[in-house]
Amino acid sequence: MSQSLFAIKVVATLLVALSLQGVLSYIWRPFRYIDLALIVTVYFSLMRNQMMGMFIGMASGVIKDALPGSGGIIGIGGIAKTLIGFFVATASVHLTLENSFVRLLVVAIASVINTAIYVGLYALLGVNLTPEQGMQEIIKKAEWELIANTGAAIVIFWLLNIVFAEERPDRYKVVKRRFYR
């Protein structure tokens, strides 16, 4: 696949995910626990390219922060997803993360780390996220996000594997060449 076609597919995937995030979380309240920007960031970060993972994380996080109804400070989500993109891409370079169960585990861990970074950055800025509810509400929301993101990743990864089918053989060749020669 040519690089320009791949770039167009990546941008289209990001725009579709963020559009769905904005519309579906407004229409169906439980969808607010699913973070499509995080799932897309993890998917592309697993392609072993730190720059792509960081760029997609930054773009998806900032755009998601700017969506109506997201509230909060624009850029906090961008910073969190940039770090997630970098760490997942770095881990995928050093570890074999091709197994579907391991990929879901990566999404679950990324979901928890995303929440921790988000809460940490707000605390660093001196902004209280939920003044009336406290830390118990944040932990409860993080648990629901972990379950929702991991469940949604099953479907999203399956769809993205179909859209980016041409990219899959190259990833496996890299692993085979690196570990078996």
Residues 134 and 75: their CA atoms lie apart, in Å, by 23
Mean pLDDT of 98-126: 92
pLDDT at 173 > cutoff 60:
no
Mean pLDDT of 53-71: 88
Unique residue bearing structure tokens 């881990």: 91
Tokens of 168: 């899959």
pLDDT above 70: percentage of residues in the chain:
88
pLDDT at 8 > cutoff 90:
yes
Q: What type of residue sits at position 2?
A: S
Whichever domain contains 94, its CATH number is: 1.10.1760
Residues 33 and 41: their CA atoms lie apart, in Å, by 16
Expressed in percent and rounded to 5, the helix, strand and coil fractions of the chain are 80, 0, 20
**Number of helices (H), then strands (E), in the chain:** 7, 0
* CA 68 and chain centroid, separation: 19
pLDDT at 82 > cutoff 50:
yes
Record the pTM: 0.87
pLDDT score recorded for residue 135: 78
pLDDT score recorded for residue 150: 96
Residue range(s) defining the domain that contains residue 166: 3-180
Q: What does residue 6 show for φ and ψ, rounded to 5 degrees?
A: -60, -45
What total number of domains does the chain contain? Answer: 1
